[in-house]
Amino acid sequence: MRPDEVRRGSSALAEREPAGDIALELERGLDALDPPVQQTGSAWRRRVGTVLPPLLAVAVVLAVWQALIWAEIKPRYTFPSPGDVLATLVDQWREGTLLEAIWLSLSRGATGFLLSVAIGTPLGLLVARVKPLRTALAPVLSGLQSLPSVAWVPAGILWFGLSPATIYFVVLLGAVPSIANGTISGIDQVPPLYLRVGRVLGATGLRAARYVIMPAALPGYIGGLKQGWAFAWRSLMAAELITQSPRLGTGLGQLLDTGRQLFDVSLVFAMIISILVVGVAVDRIVFSPLERGVLRRRGLLVE
């Protein structure tokens, strides 16, 4: 191959070479040089990078906690040590109460969340796409999102008694607005250019919704689901904490309230930690990978 300067400098020379080959080579060269470089770090190093810092943070919290115990800032029966709490957790686990409570709460949370998705998604779609509905309902949905769903517990008890219906009522009022709002903002953020492309390609009406708007709104929607889960879980705990009844069984919230009634502060702390761990675990195991997967496939994730 001739040096570039020669080829570009002299048109006479260029004319003697087969033009098609030069164009092809030039194009291949550009294709090889141009594409954005994909970052490829070692998977192991990345995993260490994401796991180590949170573990370190937990260790720091435990150390500070233990230091406060040694400083005896509070009497032991109101402020348990990490060791006391761990012992309670192990006890509860051995007796099977903890696993049972986690399972009951988690299955209620999942049912409530799925119901909320089934209601919140079409609601969000309607409010986003139908002008009068939007004007009427968008402010209500934002308002509901800022209202703590515990506020619904008394009304729920009056209407449904101490039954699972009360618990689901509170969970739905907590999670549905989040999911609907996530759907709305996902649709609002669809770039108009995509809609134009869709129209040029022949996607109008329902076909535009299916092939352009819904896939384009997916990242915002998943963000809404993630937030919806957080709201569902915290509403569920609020409801469980207030509704004590043999008919409702013993979830994490009920176990927490039992601890309060028995002045068993270790149990109270053990349940707070369990609720936290379950909430974070669901987010980490279900929603974060989903969200990261969608963003990565679209090149929207900076690692």
Partner 1 sequence: MSVVEVIPKAAEVPVAEARPVEAPAVRVEHLVKRFGPGPVVLDDLSLDVTPGEFVCIIGASGCGKSTLLSLLAGLEQSNSGTVSVAGGRAALMFQEPALLPWLTAAGNVELALRLRGLGRRERRADALELLRLVRLEGAAAQRPHELSGGMRQRVALARALAQRSSVLLMDEPFAALDAITRDVLHDELVRVWRETGVSVVFVTHNVREAVKLGQRVLLLSSRPGRVIASWPVDIPGDRRIESPPVAALSLEITDRLREEIRRHAA
Provide φ and ψ at 37, rounded to 5°. Answer: -75, 130
Alpha-helical (H) ranges within the chain are 4-9, 11-16, 19-33, 43-71, 82-95, 97-129, 131-146, 153-160, 164-188, 192-201, 205-208, 214-242, 252-261, 265-282, 288-297
Tokens of 141: 């949905």
Query: Closest CB to partner 1 among 198 and 253?
Result: 198
Provide φ and ψ at 127, rounded to 5°. Answer: -65, -35
Q: By CB under 8 A, is residue 211 in contact with partner 1?
A: yes
Tokens of 245: 């009844």
Q: Judged by CB under 8 A, which stretch of 30-38, 61-69, 106-114, 164-172 contacts partner 1? A: 30-38
Q: By CB under 8 A, is residue 36 in contact with partner 1?
A: yes
Beta carbons of 231 and 141 less than 8 angstroms apart: no
Buried b (16+ CB within 10 A) or exposed e, 210-248: eebbbebbbbbbbbbbbbbbbbbbbbbbbbbbbbeeeeb
From candidates 212, 232, 236, 248, binder to partner 1 by CB under 8 A = 212
Residues 269-298 touching partner 1, rule: CB under 8 A, are 294, 297-298
Q: By CB under 8 A, is residue 179 in contact with partner 1?
A: no
Q: By CB under 8 A, is residue 50 in contact with partner 1?
A: no
From candidates 3, 5, 35, 75, binder to partner 1 by CB under 8 A = 35
Q: By CB under 8 A, is residue 78 in contact with partner 1?
A: no
From candidates 218, 272, 286, 290, binder to partner 1 by CB under 8 A = 218
- What single-letter DSSP state applies at residue 41? -
- With a CB cutoff of 8 Å and minimum separation 6, the contacts of 137 are 123, 127
Query: Closest CB to partner 1 among 19 and 155?
Result: 19
From candidates 194, 244, 258, 264, binder to partner 1 by CB under 8 A = 194
From candidates 31, 50, 205, 247, binder to partner 1 by CB under 8 A = 31
Query: Closest CB to partner 1 among 160 and 211?
Result: 211
Q: By CB under 8 A, is residue 207 in contact with partner 1?
A: yes
Binding site residues, partner 1, CB under 8 A: 11, 14-16, 18-20, 23-24, 26-27, 30-31, 34-36, 38, 193-194, 196-197, 199-203, 207, 211-212, 215-216, 218, 294, 297-300
